[in-house]
Structure 1
């Protein structure tokens, strides 16, 4: 006879010796399964954000910004403050590459204050910021950006690898896109990436894709918006990210996602997919832009391409969405209205 201690309770069971291998195997298998489930679902934590009493939600989107105010980052931040006040925004979304060139060195890196806290000072921007990681963030200490210590330094800051944000009629699915890109693993050049929370990569991506798919299927939100750093459809410098087209797009299309919002290309861009009607929105003009770096795209799909700095706003109700893109002078470059009954541009 031998004693078996279950990982699910504090009780001790006495079993015949011949049964030891069978029962232990079952317990170990169950424990491994439970651990994998807990680990997987930890990637998709859920957060809630209230909407306004009138049933609306307004927010700004900015990406590729963290340059200590340089390359017009401060000018973009100033206009964000003005537009944010006018629209009475509820939150801000960052599409990644939060700190150039190589992320943060740790939780005490002064770049957090120099590129974030002392730049986005307008009262209207004192709202919750929801952030994803970009490839430049992965060149530094990733855990620093995810740390609760930064949230204590500036309560606006919330950054996770992947997570879900629910605001009544809309759900945002924030997806960690950097680990999808093969080049960062096979040919990183002189760059060093912090993969501590990602390895083994195959398991990480498999779990993430499964959980995003399951969460989208489960969602009953009127609007489903996926946010990531890397481009899926873009006429900009980086262009199409083939790994996301192959692995993530089928999930977006199968689950009737309305919009995919990203940064990575340092521009402002709107592509309306002719096959799925997903709106691909690039807001990567938070600081340094790539003037003249544009490739040909189907003009029927390409509604906006602006190779300068700026940001995007979105005003939502249960049935209507209004999108606008702004340059560093606050000029409106492009608007787009969407309803569940009608898609129209202005």
Structure 2
């Protein structure tokens, strides 16, 4: 079944390559939608990792090894990357050896030979951003499925992958010595307005038991970058209006779970794929449930009525678990069951 799902996802992606220029256009009519079958029992298992592409250094290889072990235990269906896939400045082009050195040669475990659904991070935008969207990379490693914003429907869940880098105004107005590849994005306001409109329409059409948004940048965080005000002002209202359950991100090099005080949305940071930022902590107004300022990754197991998140460190130790019942169930359930 897993191989069938991988083949279906890859086939859907290749079918879209003929219209690849449209995927980068600011006036795209709607988000690309990929289908990924759940398991025969209707469940789904996956791993989430972010901020990893360092050619195996800063414990990237160590984290990858543990991902392989957990992936086998959970019989995962796919992997999600929350961005910053290649440091320091993305890829130089489709022939950049960093692609294989940081991805193909690192995530070698059998359990990780599944589709990887990826968003771009700010460091990816500092290189040739369009290279990561290119079919050339698919020929090198067919697992790599990267677009700017898209949807993965896995029957019981809709994952909304959101291109968050253009939201941050400082990348446009104060880039310092960094260059950002804004091809297909500028002008910023038009791009963001169209993206928010497309997201709102797609979320309203969704009938999945779970709605999960994946982006690179933090919305709520107590680590170095902290909260991203542009996402709170522009993106969060769309999530709240459409009953999104979880927002998953990277950007801060740590593992976090933050519970919103003013909505049911739960925030999860999985940005510990390589270099970690030890010692950075700045509290915010929401409720901090878990924080680890080291390397690691996250798993997510979904059923029709329950989601379970687990954080692991670079040695594969379980650091924290959180379970929640679906708020869209038609029969009474506890609002959540947390294991801390």
Q: Do residues 257 (structure 1) and 244 (structure 2) align? A: yes
Q: Which residue of 2 aligns with 1:32?
A: none
Match of 1:118 among 105, 109, 115: 105
Whether the 8 Å CA contact 1:62–1:93 is kept in 2: the answer is yes
Match of 1:327 among 313, 316, 322: 313
CA, structure 1 residues 43+77, in 2 after alignment: closer, same or farther (shift >3 Å)? farther
Find the aligned partners of 1:302 and 1:334 in 2 and give their Cα distance. Answer: 13
Q: Which residue of 2 aligns with 1:18?
A: none
Whether the 8 Å CA contact 2:157–2:208 is kept in 1: the answer is yes
Whether the 8 Å CA contact 1:43–1:161 is kept in 2: the answer is no
Query: How many corresponding residue pairs?
Result: 310
Whether the 8 Å CA contact 1:260–1:280 is kept in 2: the answer is yes
Q: CA deviation at 1:40?
A: 3.4
Instruction: For residue 304 of structure 2, give the secondary structure of its aligned residue in structure 1.
Output: coil
CA, structure 1 residues 73+42, in 2 after alignment: closer, same or farther (shift >3 Å)? farther
Which consecutive residues of structure 1, in runs of 5 or more, have no partner in the other structure? 1-34
Whether the 8 Å CA contact 2:38–2:156 is kept in 1: the answer is no
Q: Which residue of 2 aligns with 1:166?
A: 153
Q: CA deviation at 1:41?
A: 3.6
1:117-163 superposed Cα distances (whole Å, 9 cap, x missing partner): 00000000000000000000000001100001101110100000000
Q: Which residue of 2 aligns with 1:317?
A: 303
Which consecutive residues of structure 2, in runs of 5 or more, have no partner in the other structure? 1-21, 327-332
RMSD, aligned CA: 1.4
TM-score normalised according to structure 1 size: 0.88
Q: CA deviation at 1:296?
A: 2.1
Structure 1 runs of 4+ with >2 Å offset? 38-43
Find the aligned partners of 2:257 and 2:127 in 1 and give their Cα distance. Answer: 30
1:259-274 superposed matches below 5 A: 259-274=246-261
TM-score normalised according to structure 2 size: 0.89
CA, structure 1 residues 200+114, in 2 after alignment: closer, same or farther (shift >3 Å)? same
Whether the 8 Å CA contact 1:43–1:162 is kept in 2: the answer is no
Which structure has the greater CA radius of gyration?
1
Q: CA deviation at 1:43?
A: 6.0
Whether the 8 Å CA contact 1:40–1:211 is kept in 2: the answer is no
1:89-168 superposed matches below 5 A: 89-168=76-155
Find the aligned partners of 1:196 and 1:329 in 2 and give their Cα distance. Answer: 40
